Amino acid sequence: MNLPNKLTMARIIMVPIVMALMLTGHNIWALIVFAIASITDFLDGFIARKYNLVSSFGKIMDPLADKLLAFGALICFIEVGVVSVWAPMIIIAREFFVTSMRVVAVSKGKVIAASWWGKIKTNVQLFAIIFALLIYTSEPIIAGGLIWVAAIFTVASWIAYIFENISVFKD
């Protein structure tokens, strides 16, 4: 297993650690582990491209690891009462929808690459979660608001993917 794939697997392993820390009130440690996990996302892609270590495993597991990390934190924010289920559900629904679009596209011999909207959405989600982790016990309303900002960017990305890839829906 190459280094980028090891970083991806490390990120997956960090998901339950972040969740356990959040749910037991160890906010700063949850923030630190989440931030480290987020950094591995940038590192694994950079290393894979720079050293030509892109693999089929990485193409599948890297985005899965990203989603698990974000979903884990979002679910914990619901559990601790920072945000209602609606913002996380919007975010999760978009991810399932776009992933499904990609599967349909592949079955038709097409590839739906990540758009700049998708990249902005991912960064907004990660930063919203990081800042929410930093303040959610002292400022839960602001933390919840940050998650809603991420949900708004997620919807914008969702709409962009639909319009940019509408041909996927045509037989």
**pLDDT at position 60 over 90:** no
Q: 3-state SS of the chain: helix, strand, coil percent to 5?
A: 80, 0, 20
pLDDT tens column, 97-156: 998 998 888 888 888 877 899 889 989 999 999 999 999 989 999 999 999 999 999 999
DSSP secondary-structure letter at 168?
G
Return the CATH number of the domain spanning residue range 3-169: 1.20.120.1760
Predicted local distance difference test score (pLDDT) of residue 75: 97
67 and 38 Cβ atoms separated by less than 8 Å? no
As a whole number, mean pLDDT of residues 4-33 equals 96
Predicted local distance difference test score (pLDDT) of residue 59: 83
pLDDT tens column, 32-58: 999 999 999 889 989 999 999 998 888
**pLDDT at position 170 over 90:** no
Other Cβ atoms closer than 10 A to 118 = 19
Q: Where are the domains of the chain?
A: 3-169
As a whole number, mean pLDDT of residues 86-97 equals 96
Give the pLDDT band (50/70/90) at residue 63.
Answer: confident
| Residue 54 φ/ψ, nearest 5 degrees | -65, 130
The CA distance from 105 to 171, in Å, is 11
DSSP secondary-structure letter at 136?
T
